């Protein structure tokens, strides 16, 4: 039962953080296209690791990370106002390059000249 509640709380935190990040006025954060990749909360809800990624790459995510660290008090207060938690976890932000990595994989896959299943079916039907 406790794991279910922790999972729900984690998803609630991720949802609310996504909305709160839209309202941060720091230009390092507001000028970047930031996405929250993963949120991990400790069992006692004292710490929350937030993994972010930027579409512009890892360097841009690291710059946004500095803005998020300076705005962490505002973000934590807003999170406490939106979620009814006894103790709002301390937010620890981490930068990842997962969006850039997945975009690169997508580019590689799109550049490959692979026939689709539909083309093969058409060739099999036409002798």
- Whether 31 is in a domain gets the answer yes
What is the average pLDDT score of the chain? 85
- Tally of structural domains, the chain: 1
- Whether 122 is in a domain gets the answer no
pLDDT digits (tens, 9 = 90+) for 68-97: 999 999 999 999 999 988 889 999 999 988
- Whether 68 is in a domain gets the answer yes
- Whether 127 is in a domain gets the answer no
- Whether 39 is in a domain gets the answer yes
Tokens of 91: 């937010």
Q: What is the pLDDT of residue 1?
A: 42
Q: For the domain that residue 11 is a member of, what is the CATH number?
A: 3.30.300.20
pLDDT of 10 strictly over 70: yes
Instruction: Find, among 100, 15, 85, the residue nearest to 50 by Cα.
Output: 15
Predicted confidence band at 126 (pLDDT cuts at 50, 70, 90)?
low
> 15 lies in which domain range?
2-112
- Whether 118 is in a domain gets the answer no
Contacts 24+ apart (CB under 8 A), 34-43: 34/61, 34/64, 35/99, 37/96, 37/98, 37/99, 39/10, 39/13, 39/14, 40/10, 41/6, 41/9, 41/10, 41/13, 41/89, 42/89, 43/2, 43/6
Q: What is the mean pLDDT of residues 123-127?
A: 61
Residue 89: strand, helix, or coil: coil
Report the percentage of the chain scoring pLDDT > 90.
42
Strand arrangement, sheet containing 90-96:
34-41, 47-54, 90-96
Q: What is the pLDDT of residue 32?
A: 81
Predicted confidence band at 122 (pLDDT cuts at 50, 70, 90)?
low
């Amino acid at each position: 039962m406790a794991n279910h509640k922790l999972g729900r709380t984690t998803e609630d935190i991720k949802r609310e953080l996504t909305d709160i990040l839209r309202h941060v006025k720091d230009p390092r954060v507001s000028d970047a296209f930031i996405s929250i990749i993963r949120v991990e909360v400790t069992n006692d809800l004292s710490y929350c690791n937030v993994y972010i990624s930027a579409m512009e790459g890892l360097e841009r995510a690291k710059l946004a990370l500095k803005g998020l660290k300076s705005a962490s008090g505002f973000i934590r207060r807003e999170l406490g106002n939106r979620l009814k938690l006894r103790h709002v976890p301390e937010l620890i932000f981490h930068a990842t390059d997962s969006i850039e990595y997945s975009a690169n994989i997508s580019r590689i896959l799109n550049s490959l000249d692979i026939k689709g299943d539909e083309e093969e079916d058409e060739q099999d039907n036409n002798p």
